[in-house]
Structure 1
Amino acid sequence: MDMTDLKIKATRIRMDVLRMIHRAKAGHTGGSLSNTDILTALYYRVMRINPADPKWPDRDRFIASKGHAVESLWCILADLGFFPKEELDTFCQFGTRLIGHPNNKVPGIEMNTGALGHGLSIAVGMALAAKRDGKGYRVFCLMGDGEQAEGSVWEAAMAGAHYGLDNLVGIIDRNGLQISGSTEDVMAIEPLDTKWKAFGWHVVAVDGHDMDALVKVLESAPEVPGKPTLVLARTVKARGVSFAENIPGWHHRVPNDEELQRALAELAAYEAQLKREGGRAEA
């Protein structure tokens, strides 16, 4: 996909996320919308994956450490054909595989996650295994910014640098908000770039909604041999829905009927703008 196609795809995934959460009357709206561009860049452009063979040994691995924001990941996996798209209708319903956190009973999910602070440790183990097995795959781990207050994150950071895991890419969805407010009010974590550099990582800051910049950074990792990479992605909570952006209450809020229609209209207008700018015909 070129950049316009990726931006259109991310917009459509956001619409799917909102419909799914509204239908289920459950879900993490804000964080799923803030990480959508990151996941779109990874799954449609950067990572080596095969939906027809989810356990392909040479696939790149992805760990969603901020597992509560799984909705965008479910929508992307369904869109790519890891499981039928109709299954999205069962999200958070009794007996479903599509629960509110990643579930490795679903093709495309490497590990159950959601207890914050654990994902990077899992990713370190996978990256170390690749090195010892002589495999060329990369491991990507998406973390939340509130998660940076967890001590296990920093233990994993030390291990990643110690073992020279340049096949490991950590990504922080830095939207500045967590369930109870600003990260800097709840537990100050800045300066994140300086801290990760001090732990031996190569750090790259990027606008987490600039698709061109995201793809460039993620495709080029590792930039420094012998060092894991940390992508500090500056994002906006509930990106794409103007009345929800940067509002902590949308961390775990479900849009009502009127809000859903407003949000879908905004996103449809943005998609139309992208098509005009890119010279695309209506799909």
Structure 2
Amino acid sequence: MQETTFKERLNQRPDTALLQREANRIRLSAMTMTHHSGVGHTGGDLSSADILATLYLGGVLNVDTARPAWPQRDRFMMSKGHCAGAFYSTLAARGFFPRAWLGRFMDPLSPLNGHPDRNKLPGIEANTGPLGHGLPIATGAALAARMRGETWRVFVLTGDGELQEGSNWEAAMTAHHYELDNLTVIVDRNRIQQGDFTEKTIRMDPLAAKWLAFGFSVLEIDGHNHEALLDAFSRLPFEKGKPSCIIANTIKGKGVSFAENQPAWHHGVPTVAQLEAAAAELNVELPL
């Protein structure tokens, strides 16, 4: 596989209507997996689906499913590893492993753990789940690329609640110090964490100002708008010599009315009737 730029891949990207359908399929797949296992993180799976679909199915990430360890691949870190349902569904949709494997989510000895494990599945760059670890790992990877003169890029998707972990800001200072403009942080800003709304737990706003103060170039967008996402990714890095931060404003539980903006659905488990209702709202047929 030859290395290509995002602008070159942009010419072959799917239209946004197709990306929306794929994102909704990821949503229902993740809910089906949570129903199967009896545990999961439905709300964050649903809020992050559009971001993941755009990265993997919209031509943003330069990866090779036939060679997951291809040295020149872009690196993606799923820092909010508890949203493994959406992540696994996206990797399967991209072709890293068969969709049929999704039916084994969290079964005994299944490679689809409750949190991503790079030793279990192709396409996973780092083991995540303990929140606040993804950005430090991504910063190290971006620094390694810089030191070796490599051109591949590093992306990390964080939850907003996990930004309460101080390790994120230590990594942010490091990324700014080394001028890592090959690093992009995407914040899934759905404003809900386990138990309550983020602003009732630990106030985070003004979030963009915090990233700016730490030396990042920042863009706020609608994290459910595929055109806005594609446009933002096409502009990277936003400023030469600065790491980039995309604050993707999202809705927890997006696309499923009974789950939207409901803290209880951070880790709610859908019933059969709720799965059927979600399928109807998402316009995706069951079984997947």
TM-score range, shorter chain: over 0.9
**Cα deviation digits, residues 47-89 of structure 1 (max 9, x gap):** 1011111001110000011110111110111122211211111
Give TM-score, length-normalised by structure 2.
Answer: 0.92
**Cα deviation digits, residues 9-34 of structure 1 (max 9, x gap):** 11111121111211222211000100
Match status 1:68 vs 2:76: no
Taking the TM superposition and a 5 Å limit, the aligned residue runs for 1:8-19 are 8-19=21-32
Match status 1:153 vs 2:168: yes
**Counterpart selection for 1:103 from 117, 132, 139:** 117
- Matching residue of 1:279: none
**Counterpart selection for 2:38 from 16, 20, 25:** 25
Query: In 1, Cα distance between the equivalents of 2:280 and 2:54?
Result: 24
Match status 1:256 vs 2:256: no
**Counterpart selection for 1:118 from 117, 133, 145:** 133
- Matching residue of 1:224: 239
Question: What amino acid does structure 2 have at the position aligned with 1:5?
Answer: L
State the number of aligned residues.
270
Taking the TM superposition and a 5 Å limit, the aligned residue runs for 1:78-227 are 78-105=92-119, 106-227=121-242
State the 1:139 CA deviation.
0.3
**Cα deviation digits, residues 174-225 of structure 1 (max 9, x gap):** 0000011011111111111001000000000000001100111012210200
**Cα deviation digits, residues 100-121 of structure 1 (max 9, x gap):** 1111021000010010111100
Question: What amino acid does structure 2 have at the position aligned with 1:47?
Answer: L
Greater mean alpha carbon deviation, residues 112-121 or residues 10-19 = 10-19
- Matching residue of 2:64: 50
Give TM-score, length-normalised by structure 1.
Answer: 0.93
- Matching residue of 1:6: 19
Structure 1 residue matching 2:156: 3-state secondary structure: strand
Task: Find runs of 4+ consecutive structure 1 residues off by over 6 angstroms.
Answer: none
**Cα deviation digits, residues 113-139 of structure 1 (max 9, x gap):** 010111100000000111111111110
Structure 2: where are the runs of 5+ without partners?
1-13
More helix by share: 1
Structure 2 residue matching 1:114: 3-state secondary structure: coil
How many percent of aligned residue pairs carry the same amino acid? 49
Structure 2 residue matching 1:98: 3-state secondary structure: coil
Structure 1 residue matching 2:82: 3-state secondary structure: helix
Question: What amino acid does structure 1 have at the position aligned with 2:57?
Answer: Y
Question: What amino acid does structure 1 have at the position aligned with 2:35?
Answer: H
Question: What amino acid does structure 2 have at the position aligned with 1:71?
Answer: G
Query: In 1, Cα distance between the equivalents of 2:115 and 2:33?
Result: 14
Query: In 2, Cα distance between the equivalents of 1:9 and 1:224?
Result: 31
Cα RMSD after superposing both structures: 1.1
Structure 2 residue matching 1:63: 3-state secondary structure: strand
- Matching residue of 1:277: none
